């Protein structure tokens, strides 16, 4: 069994959950997805980890690092279960709102360093740029349009997970969708939010003193 853990604060409504579900759908082995915000302590997770063939962590980037609840989980598992899962393969599925997926390298490094301290085997991760956009394209097949690069990355990661093999981290962004166009769409979103909150354009550029 492959164990996948959604560490997003948004839980069931998160893009992280969708990305984990997409990877699970490509796996040839049984998968189970848990929501971190529904766990009570780490006992249940530790029990499932002992049975799992591989562990997949899913989370968004928060201030160039892991979400607070993911950090808390890592600290608790380190305090309670260090070296209890020797060489257990650990993979990561991460995303961020910025177009550039390379900005996720610090988050993947955090997960990798945690694995070293835990005695587990970090075996590769998928870094998804433009996460909000990609999460909104759930009706588009993974091998088509803007999802093509992400779908290829998910397929490669799923194959590695099921084979228990380590791979290099995979960095993807929206396919056939230029960064400039992505920035235009993001700016339009800011303006929409500005109007909703009764702000002027000048308010967006006002320096906080």
Residues 97-148 have pLDDT tens digits of 999 999 999 999 999 999 999 999 999 999 999 998 999 999 999 989 999 9
> How far is 90 from 110, CA to CA, in rounded Å?
13
> How far is 146 from 176, CA to CA, in rounded Å?
6
Find where tokens 């360093």 sit. 113
- State both tokens at 113: 């360093």
The dihedral built from the CA positions of residue 166, 140, 64 and 68, taken in this order, carries a sign that is negative
As averages over each run of 10 residues, the pLDDT of the chain (209 residues) reads: 95 92 98 94 94 97 93 96 96 95 97 98 97 92 94 98 97 90 74 81 69
> How far is 70 from 104, CA to CA, in rounded Å?
15
């Amino acid at each position: 069994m492959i164990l996948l853990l959604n560490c997003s604060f948004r839980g069931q409504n998160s893009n992280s959950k969708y990305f984990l579900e997409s990877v699970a759908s490509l796996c040839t082995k049984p998968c189970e997805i848990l929501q971190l915000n529904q766990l009570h302590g780490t006992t249940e997770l530790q029990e499932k980890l002992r049975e799992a063939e591989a562990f997949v962590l899913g989370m968004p980037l928060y201030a160039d690092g892991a979400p607070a609840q993911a950090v808390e989980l890592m600290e608790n598992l380190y305090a309670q279960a260090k070296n209890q899962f020797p060489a257990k393969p650990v993979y990561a599925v991460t995303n961020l709102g910025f177009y550039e997926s390379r900005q996720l390298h610090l988050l993947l490094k955090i997960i990798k360093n945690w694995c070293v301290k835990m005695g587990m085997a970090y075996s590769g991760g998928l870094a998804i740029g433009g996460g909000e956009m990609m999460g909104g394209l759930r009706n588009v097949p993974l091998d088509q349009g803007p999802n093509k690069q992400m779908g290829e990355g998910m397929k490669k990661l799923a194959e590695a997970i099921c084979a228990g093999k380590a791979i290099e981290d995979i960095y993807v962004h929206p396919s056939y969708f230029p960064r400039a166009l992505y920035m235009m769409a993001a700016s339009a979103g800011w303006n929409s939010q500005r109007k909703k909150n009764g702000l002027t354009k000048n308010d967006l550029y006002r320096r906080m003193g």
